[in-house]
Structure 1
Amino acid sequence: MRSSTRSSTSSFPAAWTSTTSSSISLRSRHEARHRHVRGPGAPRQGDRRPARLAARGARAAAGAPQQTRADRAGSCRSSRGRRRSRRLRRLRHARRARRPHAARGRALLRPLRPGRGAHPDERRARHLLPDRFPRARLRPHCRAPARSRPSSGAAGRVLSQLHARRLARAGADTAAASRRGARRAEARPAAGSARDGRKRSGASARTTHRNPGGDVLVNEMPRYEILDEAAMQELERGWRRIVSELGIEFLHEESLDYLRGAGQQVEGQLVKFDPDWILEQVAKAPSEFDLQARNPERTVHIGGKHMVFAAVYGCPFVRDGLERRDATYKDFENFVKLSQSFPQLDSPGGTICEPNDKPLDSRHLDMVYALLTLSDKPFMGSVTSGPNAVDTIAMANMVFGHDSLEQTPAIISLINVNSPLRYDDRMLGALVEYAKANQATVITPFLLMGAMSPVSVAATLAQQVAEGLAGIALAQTIRPGCPVVFGSFLSNTDMQSGSPSFGTPESAVGLLCTGQIARRFGLPFRAGGGLTSSQAVDAQAGYESMMSMWPTFLAGTNFVLHSAGWLESALVSCYEKFIVDVEMLRMLYEVFKPLEINEETLAYSAHQEVGQGGHFLGAVHTLERFRECFYRPLLSSTENYERWARNGGRDAAMRASEISKKTLEEYEEPPMEADLKDELKSYVDRRRKELGD
């Protein structure tokens, strides 16, 4: 039977133009299914089957290849699929016209051209975060089909109000930006004219230069203090006994002359102090001061609730990817450029890494030149000797002018105590020169518990106060009122290996206590940073750095050195770690910025709009704020696994390396007058010849 049927269907055209048994059977079955609609024997309305059969017969007569049963079945399924798609489109348009305005508002977030083959989670993310995907962009308003777009009603009113608000806000922002630009143009001096002594005040200078946040971080959080009054009295007794009974060595004759002239007991190089005299001198130091920058808008305020962040300091090696090598001058320049590029850093610092390819005796000239030309933020001066400090001051005079430098410091420098209980001649030489010039110094006991101080936190705190206050008293003896910062570098030694440990619980406790002690003496203080003992940019580097940075914020530290780039216990300046630390700073800024609670942030209108059991994705309050309502990471990956794997499966260190390289490619050198740059270069060349390099 099957073979005879195939034979009859292949004998065109007569078999299909006449009513063969097979065609009668097909039509009978088809009409039987629709008899209740058309009536018995009634032809199907608009039936095109006879025409199709005639066309097939004509093709067969011309010798064209014929469709098999499987081909016809596939074509039929395709046709049914197209009809079904058309029905679904019509149904969606009809539903869109009836759906609530909250759901309809989501069309504002729909990308015009979503990525092909995207994972469903990714497609949903594109709707919510269009900035994260280059091909997704906001539609100006909802463009529903003309036959279904409502001209009135709740949905139309909400969308019209939203569009009007956006236009009004855009106009207001544009006008405000124009006013700000005009004010800045009037107030901003020409590039490099800070040398004429002009600068904006500290408050106004901090209104525009940081993003996010807009200005130098002001930490309004309550300070975390763990010492009661009885503990503070015990520490007072401890440091007084150290300075008066044990004394502190000063390996610098000029410093000894100042202290001897002030009536302190000098025995050779050992000085025993009157504790009350120390407190009298410390009281002369300012509790807050401005640190001016080449760009007046970068001027920072040190003290009070302000937190100023500087990059890593003093590392002899550099890590770039998997390579660990001696640092070079090119690396130094790169880290200055990175510090200039990220607004989270208020200063590039000083010796970000040691440029080992430069001569030892003159490399300080190259570093100061790079700090002054490649960045317009405040910088740290050279402290390896008194003459090096003089060179730093001379170059700063060229940029800022002598009178301006006398009035407001432009240099801040790190003076480390050679603990226990000793100041060496190199640091004291720099301290004396900077104090004479009214430049700021950060006087810091270098304490690793178990090596440079006893193993107990209490004994280490007493030693820290004794060493720090003695140096501050000397600075105030040299020039009363010169700016100083009470410094702390406090951690512990690994008792199994003898190596230093960072990001430890003991260092966190010591940091919190240091903040409380500094506030008691009315001094700004330095502590903390992104410290770690890890040899690589790994989980250890992350949790130890956060263990160091979190108490830094809780204590309200005023000057934070080593904020970005520290690795391997200060032996390595690392490009990838620099970016990781910047991400950490950005997150902590968001945590410690004041929380606004008002009528707008309470968003009662959003609750009214959504009601019970709904969602807020399409609410007007969400649509007006979704771009900036949450923290958006610089480094962290939020991709689903499939997309992350397609993009190379890069971990945080690999992404950080890419960001650092891209940042360096996009770096723009801040403007400086050509004659000023030539003057600095000539000074560097002349002094290098004088030093024999």
Structure 2
Amino acid sequence: MLQSKIADSDARAGRRRRRSRDDAPAVRASTAVSGGRYAPLDSSERDAIHAAALDILATVGMSDAPDLVAASVLEAGGRLAGDGRLTFPPEMVERAIEELPRSLMLPARDPGHDLVLSHSRVYVGTGGAAPMVVDLETDTYRPSTLRDLFDASRLVDRLENIHFFARPVVACDVEEPEALDINTAFASLAGTTKHVIVSAHDAAHVRAIARMCHLIAGSEAAFRERPFLSLNINHVVPPLRFSGDACAVLAEAVRLGIPAHVNTFGQMGASSPVTIAGCVAQTIAETLAGVVFAWTLDPAAKVTFGPRPMVTDLRTGGMAGGAGEQAVLTAAVVQIAQHYGLPNSTIAGATDSKIADAQSGYEKCLSVNIAAQTGANMITQACGMQAGLMGCSFESYVIDNEMLGAILRTMAPIEVNAATLSAEAIGEVVRGAGHFLGHADTLARMQSDFLYPQIADRRAPEEWQAAGAPDIRQPARARAREILETHFPAPIPPATEAAIRAEFDIRLPEDAMRPA
């Protein structure tokens, strides 16, 4: 009798599974999740790395400091060494760490997508500057275009477990740097109501992007109040050399009230030491140099601390973003950022696989999960990227969206109370039906307590074989096509879009922004 009841319940559950795969709306994992459970460094190791970073800044310093940076840092207490390198006394660095804001709001045009970067709260999103995209129809790599960028933003706008849109591809069909920066911002903002992150080649381009944002917000004051766009800024060329153009962009962002992600990319074994500890120490020092500069301009600057060290495959010289060492390296820099208490971001998900296969899955899940469990506030490149950040795949966005939902679900707190301990229900079941499949608590919680996949296949083997034995890429590709054919959010009102097109050289055709 019990076996018969269980079989009947299993059959009903199977029918429910099939209905949920085909008909149910996507379920969003909670965004109110926090990491901080994983810490690869003990307190003495963490303190030793911090001390080494301070020593690097104080005794080695940064070369090629632009006049703007040198003047501002020197006025705040920095020094010029005999060889012309700009050095940062430890007391000045620690004062900056102490005075910079501990929390940063990154608004979205839809307040439901606002990001609050504080403590160990975790958000995941896109990123990268890939020059190629995997064509959704031909399944081959080709140069990415402005249309691809717009399509990526529309796709991500619909994917519920991706919290923000950082520019993932370069519009290779727009060659002029100023036009590229302006069109990148426009295409990103035109496709999603989530927070947008772009970059700029020049301080003048920052002003143009800001002007566009003021038009969309309705005024400069409204944008300053809720800056729905921020800038990725790589202020350093490792090892320990300032980038003059990027520092000028950072200064302009601070002046205009645009949040800035102060990022450092070192290649372990190439542009930073081959040891994890040495790479982390140099990366922390380089990132501190950027946030200290921003602090000298404005102690309340809206900046994130963005250490992004990457692993080099020393056999080839290429990047090895899916390596286990990469996951540990990322966790270590996030742990230091958490120790400082600064809003922070990092990269995870830079698989070396060329397609959304098993290698892609295990490499992304390993690195993103470790970064999340360590408590990175923002994880960029967490989805959609392939081939060591050289390519972007729309079907991967769909697959990775489910992966991210599962990762976020593991971080949700476990509810422990009299009701969830279920002592009364256990007593009812063992004296009654003998299983929990039809119990009232099970039925009440089956939708609220579980995150059901739409792309991952949970069917029985015979059902899967009868359906043609598809792999995960097939439903993902179909889902991506469906979204791109139907989802045109149009978050920029027509009158505002017309004003932007009248003022700027917008290359994205109007008909590309509407349903066919």
1:126–1:240 Cα change, 3 Å: closer
Contact 2:149 2:188 in 1 (8 A): no
Q: In 2, distance between residues paired with 1:133 and 1:273?
A: 57
Q: Say if 1:256 and 1:450 are closer, same or farther in 2 by CA, change over 3 A.
A: same
Aligned to 2:266: 447
Does residue 1:684 correspond to 2:498, yes or no? Answer: no
Q: How does 1:356-435 map to 2 (within 5 A)?
A: 356-361=172-177, 362-400=179-217, 401-416=219-234, 417-435=236-254
Distance apart, 1:330 and its partner CA: 1.4
- Give, in angstroms, the shift of residue 671 of structure 1: 4.2
Pairwise CA distance, 1:605: 4.3
Check if 1:276 corresponds to 2:91. yes
Partner of 2:168: 352
Q: Which of these residues, 595, 617, 629, is aligned with residue 414 of structure 2?
A: 595
2:471 matched to 1:651? yes
SS at match of 2:366: helix
String of CA shifts for 1:46-85, please: whole Å, max 9, x gaps.
xxxxxxxxxxxxxxxxxxxxxxxxxxxxxxxxxxxxxxxx
Superposition pairs of residues 31-180 of structure 1, within 5 angstroms = 123=11, 125-127=13-15, 129=17, 131-132=19-20
1:637 aligns with 2:452: no
| Aligned: 1:249 with 2:63 | yes
Residues 431-580 of structure 1: pairs in structure 2 closer than 5 A: 431-580=250-399
Q: 1:687 to 1:255 in 2, by over 3 A?
A: farther
Task: Give the 3 Å change call, closer, same or farther, for CA 572–127 of structure 1 in structure 2.
Answer: closer
Higher relative contact order (CA 8 A, sep 6+): 2
Aligned equivalent of 1:327, options 144, 161, 177: 144
Please report how far the alpha carbon of residue 352 of structure 1 lies from its aligned counterpart in structure 2 after TM superposition: 1.6
Name the CA shift for 1:473/1:213 in 2 (closer, same or farther; >3 Å): same
Partner secondary structure for residue 405 of structure 2: helix
Aligned residues of 1:328 and 1:355 also touching (Cα < 8 A): yes
Contact kept? 1:312, 1:352, Cα under 8 Å = yes
Q: Deviations over 1:186-227 (max 9, x none)?
A: xxxxxxxxxxxxxxxxxxxxxxxx95245x3321x5532232
Give the match's secondary structure for 1:380.
strand
Q: What is the SS of the residue equivalent to 2:485?
A: helix
Give the drift of 1:650.
1.6
Q: 1:104 to 1:458 in 2, by over 3 A?
A: closer
Distance 1:337 1:133, change over 3 A: closer
Whether the 8 Å CA contact 2:125–2:382 is kept in 1: the answer is yes
1:261 aligned to 2:75? yes
User: Structure 1 residue 623: deviation in Å?
Assistant: 3.2
Matched position secondary structure for 2:86: strand
CA RMSD of aligned residues (A): 2.8
Within-5 A mapping of 1:199-278: 211-213=27-29, 216-219=31-34, 221-266=35-80, 270-278=85-93
Secondary structure of the corresponding residue to residue 235 of structure 1: helix
Q: Distance in 1 between matches of 2:21 and 2:121?
A: 36
Aligned residues between the structures:
500
Gaps of 5+ in 1: 1-98, 110-120, 138-209, 689-693
Deviation of the 1:103 alpha carbon: 8.1
Per-residue CA deviations over 1:493-519 (Å, capped at 9, x if unaligned) read 111111111122222222222222112
TM-score (norm 1): 0.67
- Counterpart amino acid of residue 450 in structure 2: F
The residue number in structure 1 matching 2:512 is none
Secondary structure at the aligned position of 1:663 is classed as helix
CA deviations on 1:300-332 (whole Å, 9 max, x unpaired) are 211223222221321110013521000011111
* Largest Rg, 1 or 2: 1
Taking the aligned partners of 2:125 and 2:446, their CA distance within structure 1 comes to 32
Deviations 1:642-693 (A, max 9, x none): 32223222211222211211122231314443322222222223999xxxxx
Cα distance, 1:282–1:410 mapped onto 2, change above 3 Å = farther
The aligned amino acid for 2:67 is E
**Would you say the 8 A contact 2:21–2:453 is kept in 1?**
no
Is it true that 1:342 corresponds to 2:141 in the alignment?
Answer: no
Q: For residues 274 and 295 of structure 1, do their structure 2 counterparts lie closer, same or farther at Cα, with a shift above 3 Å needed? A: same
Partner of 1:298 in structure 2?
Answer: 113
**TM-score of the pair, normalised by structure 2:** 0.89
2:181–2:200: 8 Å Cα contact kept in structure 1?
Answer: no
Alpha-carbon offset, residue 530 of structure 1: 1.6
Would you say the 8 A contact 2:119–2:341 is kept in 1? no
SS at match of 2:170: coil
Relative to structure 1, the CA distance from residue 292 to residue 618 in structure 2 (aligned partners, 3 Å threshold; closer, same or farther) is closer
- Partner SS, residue 315 of structure 2: coil
Q: Secondary structure at the match of 1:500?
A: coil
Give distance in 1, aligned partners of 2:277 and 2:250. Answer: 28
In structure 2, give the amino acid aligned to 1:242.
I
The answer on whether the counterparts of 2:102 and 2:118 sit within 8 Å (CA) in structure 1 is yes
Paired amino acid for 1:518: A
Partner of 1:162: none
Q: Deviations over 1:103-124 (max 9, x none)?
A: 88998x7xxxxxxxxxxx8x56
Q: 1:500 to 1:222 in 2, by over 3 A?
A: closer
Secondary structure in structure 1 of the residue aligned to 2:504: helix
Structure 1 equivalent of residue 483 of structure 2: 663
1:456 shift after superposition: 0.5
Q: 1:408 to 1:501 in 2, by over 3 A?
A: same
1:146 aligns with none
Query: Is the 1:244–1:274 Cα contact (8 Å) retained in structure 2?
Result: yes
- Give the 3 Å change call, closer, same or farther, for CA 408–329 of structure 1 in structure 2: closer
Q: Amino acid of the residue matched to residue 685 of structure 1? A: D
Structure 2 stretches lacking a partner, 5+ long: 509-516
Aligned-pair CA distance for 1:276? 1.3
Is 1:618 aligned to residue 438 of structure 2? yes
Q: Is the alpha carbon distance of 1:238 and 1:608 closer, same or farther for their aligned partners in structure 2, counting shifts above 3 Å? A: closer
Distance 2:423 2:481 in 1: 45
The AA in structure 2 aligned to 1:245 is T
Q: Distance in 1 between matches of 2:507 and 2:155?
A: 28
Aligned partners of 2:342, 2:94: CA distance in 1, in Å?
Answer: 12
Contact 1:340 1:377 in 2 (8 A): yes
Residues 156, 397 of structure 2: 8 Å contact kept: no
**Distance (whole Å) between structure 2 residues aligned to residue 399 and residue 277 of structure 1:** 39
Query: CA 1:354–1:379 in 2, change beyond 3 Å: closer, same or farther?
Result: same
For the structure 1 residues 235 and 126, does the alpha-carbon distance in structure 2 shift closer, same or farther, using more than 3 Å as the test?
Answer: closer
8 Å CA contact retained: 2:161, 2:402: no
Of the structure 1 ranges 352-361 and 537-546, higher mean CA displacement relative to structure 2 is found in 352-361
